[in-house]
Structure 1
Amino acid sequence: MRVAPGGGTAVQDHVALAEIELCGELIIAASAAGGERLSMESIDLVLRVGEEPEAGGGPGGSGGSGAQ
């Protein structure tokens, strides 16, 4: 069995991390919808479709942008 070497050799895939964050935000919004399906407009709002990217290169977002 191989064990990952220690000492700070972790690799981060920033695109994958951003996608995971957006999926989490969708899950939160869906759970807050009270059993109703999210409309396409609500999904676009949660995923910030059409917004300009933030200066900083990351997905940004403070969380809690769930739509109902």
Structure 2
Amino acid sequence: MALLRGGTVQDHVALAEIELCGELIIAASAAEDRLSLESIDRVLRVAESRAESARE
């Protein structure tokens, strides 16, 4: 965690999770019906994450 001015703490993992949740909420609100598992994976960039893990 990085300390910012004013003594606040910034948790990069938590911020990334909040961003992904926001993207998921936006996708769900724009959809006419429930999101499919494939749509959720696309919004959460699951394939990109798996590809990154495979390279490591």
TM-score (norm 1): 0.62
Relative contact order (alpha carbons < 8 A, sep ≥ 6): 1 or 2 greater?
A: 1
* Residue ranges of structure 2 left out of the alignment (5+ in a row): none
Equivalence for 1:58: none
Equivalence for 1:61: none
Aligned residue runs from structure 1 range 56-67, under 5 A = none
Amino acid at match of 1:50: A
Residue 47 (structure 2) pairs with residue 50 (structure 1):
yes
Query: More strand per residue: 1 or 2?
Result: 2
Q: Where does structure 1 differ by over 3 angstroms across 4 or more consecutive aligned residues?
A: none
Length, aligned pairs only: 46
TM-score (norm 2): 0.74
**Rg (Cα) greater in structure:** 1
Query: More helix per residue: 1 or 2?
Result: 2
Question: 1:10: Cα distance to partner?
Answer: 1.3
The percentage of counterpart residues that share the same residue type is: 76
Output one character per residue of 1:12-46: Cα deviation in whole Å (capped at 9) or x when no partner. 00000000000000000000002x10000000000
